[in-house]
């Protein structure tokens, strides 16, 4: 089992050009989205939303907002991962509903909300929410690799243009990461990573 998982990490690579004529099976796309849905998140608040683009015109337009990176336009599907902003407000009904799952007792819920309110006031909410979305993206890329699909995490894009293109209200949500999915047009090269003893320090 350990080796199987490491093999997936070894196989996964950033695909820079997909086979544009190959569509994803709906059940495969649902499987990848489910891997994102089941990801861990700070406070268990599931800070993400997944906006899925499959139409060629939409993907081509999005590519222009991503510095014309061809993997966006050629992918079978593109998941725009949105970081929730307004829903993370301590007074939002959405946040209260999610926190009540862990704290069903009203008194415990109010105590948890007080602690969260202090955290929220001291936090860059957009950066924090976006960081949670990256956790979901990592799981989605691993899930894709597990069923023989390719992916590429895109952090290079113009947020204002993405919001305008997709009719996103930046006061409510912000694009955190763009994830093209599909079948790579070329074989992945040898994975280049620093040795473990260069990045891990035991104390």
Residue 68 lies in a domain: yes
pLDDT confidence tier of residue 32, bands split at 50, 70 and 90: very high
CATH number at residue 60: 3.40.109.10
Residues 6+ apart with CB under 8 A from 163: 169, 170, 174, 175
Instruction: Give a yes or no: residue 46 inside a domain.
Output: no
| Spatial CA neighbour of 77 closest among 58, 64, 100 | 58
From first CA to last CA, the distance across the chain in angstroms is 28
Residue 173 included in any domain: yes
Report in angstroms the alpha-carbon separations of 189 from 10, 13, 20, 186. Answer: 11, 8, 20, 9
In a domain, 76, yes or no: yes
Structural domain contains residue 13: yes
Alpha carbon separation from 151 to 16, 97, 174 (Å, rounded): 9, 33, 21
Does residue 203 sit within a domain?
Answer: no
Q: Please report whether residue 150 resides in a domain.
A: yes
Count how many domains the chain has.
Answer: 1
Residue 140 domain-assigned (yes or no): yes
Task: Please state, in angstroms and rounded to a whole number, the distance separating the CA atoms of residues 84 and 173.
Answer: 5
What band does 183 get if pLDDT is binned at 50, 70 and 90? very high
Length of the chain: 203
Q: Could you read off the pLDDT of 85-125 as tens digits, one per residue?
A: 999 999 999 999 999 999 999 999 999 999 999 999 999 99
Q: Which tens digit of pLDDT belongs to each residue from 139-152?
A: 999 999 999 999 99
Any idea of the CA torsion for 19, 183, 192, 197, to the nearest 10 degrees?
160
Give the domain extent around 82: 2-27+51-86+125-186
């Amino acid at each position: 089992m350990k080796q199987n998982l490491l093999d997936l990490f070894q196989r996964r690579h950033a695909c820079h050009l997909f086979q544009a004529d190959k569509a994803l099976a709906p059940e495969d796309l649902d499987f990848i989205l489910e891997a994102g849905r089941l990801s861990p998140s700070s406070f268990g608040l599931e800070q993400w939303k997944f906006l899925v683009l499959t139409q060629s015109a939409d993907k081509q337009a999005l590519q222009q907002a991503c510095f014309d990176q061809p993997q966006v336009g050629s992918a079978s599907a593109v998941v725009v991962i949105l970081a929730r902003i307004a829903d993370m407000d301590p007074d939002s009904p959405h946040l209260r509903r999610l926190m009540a799952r862990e704290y069903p007792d009203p008194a415990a819920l109010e105590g948890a909300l007080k602690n969260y309110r202090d955290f929220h006031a001291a936090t860059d909410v957009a950066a924090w929410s976006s960081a949670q979305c990256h956790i979901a993206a990592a799981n989605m890329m691993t899930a894709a690799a597990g069923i023989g699909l390719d992916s590429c995490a895109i952090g290079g894009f113009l947020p204002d243009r993405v919001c305008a293109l997709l009719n996103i209200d930046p006061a409510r949500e912000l694009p955190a990461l763009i994830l093209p999915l599909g079948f790579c047009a070329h074989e992945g090269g040898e994975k280049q990573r620093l040795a473990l003893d260069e990045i891990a320090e035991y104390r």
